[in-house]
Amino acid sequence: MFAPERGLGDTVPDTPQGGGPPRDTRPAVGPLTGPGFGALHGRREEVELLAGLLAGEEDRLITLTGPAGVGKSHLAHAAVAARLRHGPVPVRWADLAEASGAAALWSAVGAATGSRAEERIGAAKLLVVLDNSDPVAADVALHLSSLLRACPRLQVLVTSRVPLNIRAERLVLVGPLPTGAGSPAQRLFTDRVGPYYRAGLADGEGPSVVAEICRVVDGMPLAIELAAEAVGSEGPHDVLAKLRSGVAAGGRRLRDAPARHASVASALRWGARPSSTAERALLDGLAVFEAPVGLSEAGRAAELDRPRTVVGVESLVRASLLLSGTGPDGTPQFRLPQPVRSHYRARLAERPAALADALDRHADCCTAFAVGIGDRLRRGHDVAQLLSLVATRLPDLRRATRHLRGRGDHAAALRLLTALEVPLLHHGLAPDAAEELAESAAPRRGEAGGPLTAAALRAVARWSLEHGALRRAEEALDAADAAAAGHPADRARVAALSGELLRRRGDPVAADALLASALKELCAAGDTLGAAAARRSQALLRAALGDPEAETPVLTALAEQPTVPGPPLAPGPAGTALVPAEASAAPAERSSAADAGPFAPADARSSGQAGGGPGPWADPVSPVAVRAGLLAALARVRWTLGRTDEAYEDVRESMRLLLWTGGPAQVAEALETLALVIGRPGDGAQPEAPARVLACAESIRRRHGLGPAEDAAPGTVSARLHEELEAGALRQIRRGAQEVSLHDALIAGLFAPGPRPEPAERAAVKAAPHGLTPRQHEIALLVTEGLTNRQIGTALGISEWTVTNHLRAVMQKLECGSRVQVVRALQRSQR
């Protein structure tokens, strides 16, 4: 029997039947009887956990399970070494990689049969390591269960991709290594690169390239080692390029590396393989996905009903071919590790028809995902969570778009991209989607396109306006107008955007006429969202022309929109910041949305719509975003009219809503409006606050490639602040705003001090004669002081063009033909 007092290095004799001297039939016991593995990177917590379990008596059977090449054997070796530091224990290490049948178990404990093994071990303390047990896991499970019952001090550590599935088993999942700068994965890569080629890995671009290689292979140790060994004269950049293109990396393996570790494909062929039709269908379907998917989407990708999907997914998870996790909404999600995915994708590519079918189903899933996200965004669901979902799925969305365009289904590509206009374009997750939209719309223009093509081209136009590309916006709108022929509501939306384009180009007469015409059609169609956009442009245009009733259109638009509470503001940690609540939807609504998941229930190819709203291809905006934009416009109008206090309240309310839903362009516009409102010059003003707000807006515009502000007023304020602030202080403010997030920029704006009370002489301007607005009267008084239009603009923080328009209105109201007559009229009114 195994004597409990035996120490490390002892052998256990096996006495032959019939007597005679004992003979040794087993390898020497001890922690190094297994292969040498080298340094273990990371895994400290796992080693400590396993050492503790092995030192105890409760866990008799511990199975390390995980994907091929994740490092189970290496971890087991380190855990046994750590266990032995707690005290000596006899150890038998058996590599079962080439074993077959239950006889391997008895051989591992130095016996010929199960009964003989029970007799020999008896009550002795013994630790048996059954490494690489995958081939015999099913065969030895029940025998091992019987052995554990018969031998109360026997402890077994198993490494296997598949569990034994017996009562005594405690599973310890071994996952990939963490990746990123300075991570265990990066250290492993550097350690495995040949010493001839390590130069440059620790400086310059080397660390970032190594970190990206580790990320691409999902932190799988075997794949990292293969990639590291492939680094030679080609260098890490070429290895990374191959991995990104789906080519497995591989170099000269060490001489003692087992044949099954020659490549990831070899390791997968050696281990447990899918046996059922459902498992093979799931592997084919999921091989083309980059991001994790839910159970329903996995079934859709594999064309399986739910019961077969559940069984197949469960089997693949337990075979360590599929990793499980939890999505943002708490539902289970599944994905193939990158090395496994590349292997099955390569096998799928050998069957072109199967690959085409898998890509078709993948595109259908992505389109359904996009339609569901677009619908939830329009209904005002938690934007941050939805943006996170879209960001995770970007590689799949790009692949699906390329596939749809490649098979000539441009309508499906447009449907997918237009549904995600808000996250991809307005939140900047994929600005190149504008080019994809334009290219996908081009083949359909000759067919008159229809509402779908018109919606895509409007999306391109909106993005172009935000980025200051007015010529491109004009081209997109011309094409959209042609595509919308025969669809009055869609042509009206195009006309409204064209009116906004003319406003930004400085053609007020044509813009006003086009907006009025578009507004009439939109109201007739009941399109309140489209009408709101037209009214916003109308109000800004009329304010620049000095119309005292300029706010009327935007007030009408606000009255037509549903009331949205937005995120309530609450103190942050230690009361230092304001943070928005996660969502303002009712709890019941949030719950139902989470249960439904982000995917549209209907087949997006046959639904014919991208979601709710007035008409099938309504612009993809939520009521919260619409209201925020209208309030920002109202603030700008009231500021232009000289009603600073009202403008301040409006822009703060807009910023509060933008904390929940705002994209870069909207946030930059609101910040610029706030800077105008609080940045009135003179009167002992402190310029740091408006300078900080403007610096945040400038940083956001620069980082997101946005065009300049739509009018010159923010530039005028910025130029004045350059004069009022010391150069060092201004540089410090700009440095602090370089990487500011949208949320933090809005918080900084909400904490900025409000406008100062107006001096008595300015307050007197409110009682303006001859029907002049406060702003018009203020400008007229500065004319009497002999200031030019440019000087007036600088003094008031507005553009010279705005001053010219206001002065034109002043002359009309005072019935004056020149600046001299304006001076005389005001002098007469003050007598």
- 446 in a structural domain: no
* Residue at token pair 């904490």: 751
- 228 in a structural domain: yes
Q: Where are the beta strands (DSSP E) in 733-829?
A: none
Q: In the sheet where 169-173 sits, what is the strand order?
A: 91-95, 126-131, 154-159, 61-65, 169-173
Cβ atoms of 248 and 271 closer than 8 Å? no
| Rounded CA separation 715/620 (Å) | 31
pLDDT at 456: 93
- 563 in a structural domain: no
Mean pLDDT of 425-451: 82
* Residue at token pair 């707000």: 693
- Please check the confidence at residue 565 and state whether its pLDDT lies above 90: no
User: Given the DSSP bridges, would you call strands 578-580 and 569-571 parallel, antiparallel or unpaired?
Assistant: antiparallel
Domain interval for residue 209: 184-247+260-267
Task: Enumerate residues 6+ apart whose C-beta is below 8 A from 373.
Answer: 386, 389, 390, 419, 420, 423, 598
| Rounded CA separation 670/697 (Å) | 9
Q: Which of 704, 733, 755 is the last residue of a domain?
A: 755
| Rounded CA separation 555/549 (Å) | 10
Task: Compute and round to an integer the Cα radius of gyration of the chain.
Answer: 35
Mean pLDDT of 375-393: 86
Query: Higher confidence at residue 655 or residue 12?
Result: 655
Examine the domain organization and report whether 719 and 649 are in the same domain: yes
pLDDT digits (tens, 9 = 90+) for 75-111: 999 999 999 988 889 999 999 988 888 888 888 888 8
| Rounded CA separation 36/80 (Å) | 13
pLDDT at 610: 33
Q: What are phi and psi of 269, to 5 degrees?
A: -65, -30
Alpha helical stretches, state H, 623-738:
623-640, 644-661, 664-678, 688-703, 713-724, 727-736
Mean pLDDT of 112-124: 91
Examine the domain organization and report whether 770 and 665 are in the same domain: no
- Please check the confidence at residue 612 and state whether its pLDDT lies above 70: no
Give the CATH number, domain containing residue 111. 3.40.50.300
- 546 in a structural domain: no
Proportion of the chain above pLDDT 70, given as a percent = 84
What are the Cα distances from residue 239, in Å, to 230, 249, 267, 596?
7, 7, 20, 41
Query: Higher confidence at residue 794 or residue 228?
Result: 228
pLDDT at 577: 40
| Most confident option among 266-270, 346-350, 597-601 | 346-350
pLDDT at 11: 36
pLDDT band at 773 (very low <50, low <70, confident <90, very high): confident
Cβ atoms of 458 and 621 closer than 8 Å? no
β partners of residue 159 = 64
Mean pLDDT of 575-586: 38
Lowest model confidence (mean pLDDT) among 2-16, 112-126, 452-466: 2-16
Cβ atoms of 766 and 774 closer than 8 Å? yes
pLDDT at 769: 64
Nearest 5 degrees, angle CA 798-CA 801-CA 806? 80
Cβ atoms of 445 and 682 closer than 8 Å? no
H/E segment holding residue 81: helix 72-84
Per DSSP, the residues of 453-476 read HHHHHHHHHHHHHHTT-HHHHHHH
Examine the domain organization and report whether 317 and 336 are in the same domain: yes
Examine the domain organization and report whether 235 and 289 are in the same domain: no
Examine the domain organization and report whether 744 and 767 are in the same domain: no
Query: Higher confidence at residue 34 or residue 348?
Result: 348
Examine the domain organization and report whether 710 and 653 are in the same domain: yes
Examine the domain organization and report whether 100 and 169 are in the same domain: yes
Q: Which of 755, 776, 795 is the last residue of a domain?
A: 755
Amino acid at 555: L
Mean pLDDT, all residues of the chain: 83
- 530 in a structural domain: no
- How many residues are given for the chain? 831
| Rounded CA separation 50/73 (Å) | 13
Cβ atoms of 669 and 708 closer than 8 Å? no
Examine the domain organization and report whether 217 and 280 are in the same domain: no
- 30 in a structural domain: no
Q: What is the DSSP letter of 182?
A: T
* Residue at token pair 């494909």: 265
Examine the domain organization and report whether 142 and 195 are in the same domain: no
pLDDT at 61: 97
- Please check the confidence at residue 524 and state whether its pLDDT lies above 50: yes
Lowest model confidence (mean pLDDT) among 130-134, 275-279, 299-303, 445-449: 445-449
- 407 in a structural domain: no
Compute how many other C-beta atoms are within 10 angstroms of the C-beta atom of residue 100. 10
pLDDT at 330: 82
pLDDT at 660: 82
- 547 in a structural domain: no
pLDDT digits (tens, 9 = 90+) for 803-826: 887 788 888 888 787 887 787 787
| Rounded CA separation 211/181 (Å) | 6
Compute how many other C-beta atoms are within 10 angstroms of the C-beta atom of residue 338. 21
pLDDT at 347: 92
Q: Which of 173, 200, 232 is the last residue of a domain?
A: 173
Examine the domain organization and report whether 158 and 228 are in the same domain: no
Lowest model confidence (mean pLDDT) among 49-53, 167-171, 317-321, 810-814: 810-814
Work out the burial of residue 587: count CB atoms within 10 Å of its CB; fewer than 13 is exposed, 13-18 middle, 19 or more buried. exposed
How many domains are contained in the chain?
Answer: 5
Amino acid at 156: V
Give the CATH number, domain containing residue 784. 1.10.10.10
β partners of residue 95 = 131
Examine the domain organization and report whether 663 and 715 are in the same domain: yes
What are the Cα distances from residue 523, in Å, to 183, 535, 560, 568, 741?
58, 11, 11, 32, 37
Contacts of the segment 352-361: beta carbons below 8 A, 24+ positions apart: 354/284, 355/288, 358/284, 358/285, 358/287, 358/288, 358/301, 359/288, 359/399, 359/403, 360/403, 360/407, 361/285, 361/300, 361/301, 361/302, 361/303
- Please check the confidence at residue 760 and state whether its pLDDT lies above 60: no
What are the Cα distances from residue 88, in Å, to 5, 49, 81, 110, 151?
9, 18, 10, 20, 19
Query: Higher confidence at residue 73 or residue 768?
Result: 73
| Rounded CA separation 360/141 (Å) | 42
Residue 831, token pair as written in the block: 């007598």
Cβ atoms of 718 and 694 closer than 8 Å? yes
pLDDT digits (tens, 9 = 90+) for 733-759: 999 999 999 999 999 999 998 886 655
Task: Enumerate residues 6+ apart whose C-beta is below 8 A from 415.
Answer: 367, 370, 371, 452, 604, 605, 610
Q: What is the DSSP letter of 757?
A: P
pLDDT digits (tens, 9 = 90+) for 193-216: 888 788 778 777 889 999 999 999
Examine the domain organization and report whether 150 and 211 are in the same domain: no
pLDDT digits (tens, 9 = 90+) for 139-181: 999 999 999 999 999 999 999 999 999 999 999 999 999 999 8
pLDDT band at 3 (very low <50, low <70, confident <90, very high): very low
